[in-house]
């Protein structure tokens, strides 16, 4: 008895060690992945250092402009004015540390990005006037989460539910209709958005054409919520229409493949009720892919869709990123990408454990047997 107890303990210790090793390896791999992804983004966002040269030219013209425009300097001899300009430029260069080689600064960028010290924006600022990248991003986050969260959750749950029902009624008219409609998802949401705006905002003006809330925003919180809801209707519909059929189609196929497994046939032969078969024999083994796609969808909604937000003039992260790129505001671009990368890595990490919890087959494989 003591033997088996100590054996159990040793077994637990070994399991924990193995788990620790697995977690450590996984974390390291993910960390390196994020590091590489973020560094690549830094290189691209700075055009490999070329943005600095643009910035230098900008600084020079700005300094020259300032000296020329200020009447206090008009009487100065030109040599002194030149010196003044040069010192202005020098100050600005030192402030932005443009005198150091880009490659050094890129590692500095990388370090600060990885510790989530996102720094200050160069051109943009939040609506409250803050220059901190963190504040700018956090301010836009709710808008994106509201829009893409609503739409994606709706698509996800409706499609999984509808697919489960359809896979039981395989070959029916309804099933064939959904399959027939699946190709409509070739067009992205913004495309349907344009048509929805055309139909429901211009020809039949039921909904606003864009924005998130009326201008000026209503004082009453209920009126505010109603206004947001009204503005939300068209973009959510656009996303729903664009994704629902392909989503149902792919889940349906997925469930059909699962439903043709032998153990399902067996359960059916035993005469188990449909509900039980659905829940225990089809849904349960299909759970890990469902969770995967659910989590990846949650990540995806963070990234938002630049164009859908542009078309509906939605003040979310997509619009922010687009503006940041237009302003060549590198810190904002990098900040967005860093957070995106971290979220993705965290999801992948989480998924490994969820798989193991849901699917014993994965656990055995992970154990290295």
Q: Which residues in this chain contact other proteins in the complex, by CB under 8 A?
A: 29, 32-34, 36-37, 40-41, 44-45, 47, 50-51, 170, 179-180, 182-188, 190-191, 194-195, 197-198, 201-202, 209, 249, 253, 256-257, 260, 303, 305-307, 310-311, 321-322, 325-326, 328, 333, 336-337, 340-341, 344-345, 348
Considering the complex, state which of residue 54 and residue 357 has its C-beta at the smaller distance from other proteins. 54
Beta bridge partners of 132: 120
The minimum distance between CB 57 and other proteins, in angstroms, equals 15
For the chain, helix, strand, coil in percent to 5 are: 80, 0, 20
User: What does each C-alpha distance from 84 to 58, 62, 67, 124, 361 come to in angstroms?
Assistant: 17, 13, 8, 28, 72
The minimum distance between CB 176 and other proteins, in angstroms, equals 10
Considering the complex, state which of residue 283 and residue 307 has its C-beta at the smaller distance from other proteins. 307
Considering the complex, state which of residue 188 and residue 218 has its C-beta at the smaller distance from other proteins. 188
Considering the complex, state which of residue 198 and residue 266 has its C-beta at the smaller distance from other proteins. 198
Which 3 state secondary structure label does DSSP give 238?
helix
Distance, CA of 178 to CA of 175 (rounded, Å): 5
The minimum distance between CB 202 and other proteins, in angstroms, equals 5
Considering the complex, state which of residue 156 and residue 254 has its C-beta at the smaller distance from other proteins. 254
The minimum distance between CB 55 and other proteins, in angstroms, equals 12
Considering the complex, state which of residue 85 and residue 308 has its C-beta at the smaller distance from other proteins. 308
Q: Which residues make Cβ contacts (< 8 Å) with residue 92, sequence separation at least 6?
A: 59, 62, 63
The minimum distance between CB 331 and other proteins, in angstroms, equals 14
The minimum distance between CB 344 and other proteins, in angstroms, equals 5
The minimum distance between CB 219 and other proteins, in angstroms, equals 28
**Which residue pairs, CB below 8 angstroms and at least 24 apart, start in 247-250?**
247/155, 247/156, 247/159, 247/163, 247/185, 248/158, 248/159, 248/162, 248/163, 248/166, 248/178, 248/182, 249/163, 249/178, 249/179, 249/182, 250/163
User: What does each C-alpha distance from 133 to 40, 103, 129, 215, 327 come to in angstroms?
Assistant: 20, 22, 11, 26, 14
Looking up tokens 């059929």, which residue turns up? 245
Cα–Cα nearest to 326, from 117, 39, 40, 45:
45
The token pair that represents 316 in the structure block: 């979310």
Considering the complex, state which of residue 93 and residue 348 has its C-beta at the smaller distance from other proteins. 348
The minimum distance between CB 299 and other proteins, in angstroms, equals 10
The token pair that represents 126 in the structure block: 């939040």
Considering the complex, state which of residue 129 and residue 205 has its C-beta at the smaller distance from other proteins. 205
Cβ atoms < 10 Å from Cβ of 97? 11
The token pair that represents 290 in the structure block: 């469902």
The minimum distance between CB 153 and other proteins, in angstroms, equals 21
The token pair that represents 323 in the structure block: 């503006």
Considering the complex, state which of residue 85 and residue 192 has its C-beta at the smaller distance from other proteins. 192
For the CA atoms of 228, 229, 230, 234, the dihedral, rounded to the nearest 10 degrees, stands at 110
The token pair that represents 157 in the structure block: 């749950």
């Amino acid at each position: 008895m003591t033997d088996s107890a100590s054996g159990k303990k040793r077994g637990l210790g070994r399991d924990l060690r193995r788990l620790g090793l697995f977690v450590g390896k996984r974390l390291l791999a993910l960390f390196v992945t994020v590091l590489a992804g973020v560094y690549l983004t830094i290189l691209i966002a700075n055009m490999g250092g070329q943005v600095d040269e643009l910035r230098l030219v900008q600084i020079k013209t700005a300094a020259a402009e300032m000296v020329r425009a200020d009447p206090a300097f008009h009487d100065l001899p030109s040599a002194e004015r030149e010196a003044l300009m040069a010192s202005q430029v020098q100050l600005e260069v030192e402030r932005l540390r443009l005198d150091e080689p880009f490659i050094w600064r890129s590692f500095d960028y990388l370090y600060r990005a990885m510790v989530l010290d996102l720094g200050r924006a160069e051109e943009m600022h939040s609506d409250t006037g803050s220059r901190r990248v963190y504040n700018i991003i956090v301010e836009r986050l709710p808008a994106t989460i509201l829009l893409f969260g609503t739409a994606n959750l709706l698509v996800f749950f409706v499609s999984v539910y509808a697919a489960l029902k359809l896979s039981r009624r395989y070959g029916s008219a309804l099933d064939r209709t959904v399959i027939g409609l699946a190709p409509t998802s070739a067009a992205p949401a913004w495309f349907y958005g344009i048509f929805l705006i055309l139909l429901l905002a211009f020809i039949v003006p039921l909904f606003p054409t864009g924005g998130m809330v009326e201008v000026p925003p209503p004082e009453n919180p209920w009126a505010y919520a109603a206004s947001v809801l009204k503005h939300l209707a068209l973009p959510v519909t656009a996303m729903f229409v664009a994704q629902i059929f392909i989503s149902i189609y792919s889940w349906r196929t997925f469930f059909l493949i699962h439903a043709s497994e032998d153990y399902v046939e067996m359960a059916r032969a035993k005469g188990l009720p449909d509900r039980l078969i659905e829940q225990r024999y089809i849904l349960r083994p299909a759970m890990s892919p469902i969770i995967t796609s659910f989590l990846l969808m949650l990540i995806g909604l963070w990234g938002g869709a630049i164009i859908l937000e542009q078309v509906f003039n939605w003040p979310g992260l997509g619009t922010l990123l687009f503006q940041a790129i237009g302003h060549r505001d590198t810190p904002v671009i990098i900040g967005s990408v860093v957070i995106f990368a971290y979220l993705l890595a965290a999801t992948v990490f989480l998924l490994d454990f969820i798989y193991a919890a849901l699917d014993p087959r994965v656990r055995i494989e992970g154990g290295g047997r």
